[in-house]
Amino acid sequence: MIEKLSASEAFINPTIVVENAGMKKLILAAAVVSGLIAALPAAAQFQKPEDAIKYRKAAFNVMATHFGRVGAMANGRVPFDAKAVAQNAEIATMMSPLPYSAFGEGTDKGDTKAKPEVWTEGDKFRAAAAKMQEEMTKLNAAAKTGNLDAIKTAFGPVGQACKACHDHFRKE
Ligand code: ASC
């Protein structure tokens, strides 16, 4: 913006230059702060390990609730309502990455069914999480079309991805 002002324009209205300089500093500061937040270890965003455990369980629970509502319609247990499927799939998709910020250090002990393998086989765990999110994203795309057959097709792989992770990484 400043660059586009000629010297005479800047002279006539110096506040433009001042405002733009201030704005640039503000944008820079905001970028630095958000960069720092993104760089923080995930666990540091929770006060205590038990807060992280509560958070991830809550996120899984909300995801499962809305995924389940999609399933009820995909399986014909509840009459098909394209708008409701789309809304529920959207919420489940939004929730799907959230639990994974809450498996940080020290969150392996406490009120959790997470197996030690979550941490000892971290790459495998992250891959399983990514697979679920990928399939959920496909389900969300199908839900947006409102096509029940497409929704049915996309539903199964999400459930399989949930199960695959539970089988290996969750107790019971
Ligand atoms: C659900 C739900 C899960 C998965 C899993 C699929 O609806 O709450 O945890 O599907 O049961 O096997």
Residue type (1 letter), 63: M
Is the pLDDT at 7 greater than 50? The verdict is: no
Is the pLDDT at 20 greater than 60? The verdict is: no
Give me the residue spans of the domains in the chain. 2-39, 46-169
Q: What pTM was estimated for this model as a whole?
A: 0.77
Fold of 46-169: Four Helix Bundle (Hemerythrin (Met), subunit A) (1.20.120)
Residue type (1 letter), 72: A
Write down the residue that tokens 């765990």 correspond to. Answer: 125
Look at 13 and 68; give whichever has higher pLDDT. Answer: 68
Q: Which residue(s) pair with 170 in the sheet?
A: 114
For the chain, the farthest-separated pair of C-alpha atoms sits apart, in whole angstroms, at 74
Residue 9 Cα, ligand 1 centroid: separation in angstroms? 64
Q: Three-class SS of residue 125? A: helix
Q: What percent of the chain has pLDDT over 70?
A: 74
Look at 161 and 5; give whichever has higher pLDDT. Answer: 161
Residue 128 Cα, ligand 1 centroid: separation in angstroms? 14
Is the pLDDT at 19 greater than 60? The verdict is: no
- The pLDDT of residue 126 is 98
Ligand 1 pocket, mutate which of 60, 67, 75, 96 (most atoms under 8 A from CB): 67
CA dist., res. 85 & res. 66, Å (int): 9
168 to 71, 110, 121, 144, 171: CA distances (angstroms) = 23, 19, 10, 32, 8
Short-list 11, 10, 6, CA closest to 20: 10
Residue 70 Cα, ligand 1 centroid: separation in angstroms? 12
Give the residues surrounding ligand 1 with Cβ less than 6 Å away.
64, 67-68, 71, 159, 162-163
Q: Which of ligand 1's atoms lies nearest the C-alpha of 68?
A: 7
CA dist., res. 53 & res. 47, Å (int): 11
Q: What's the pLDDT tens digit per position in 103-162? A: 999 999 999 999 999 999 999 999 999 999 999 999 999 999 999 999 999 999 999 999
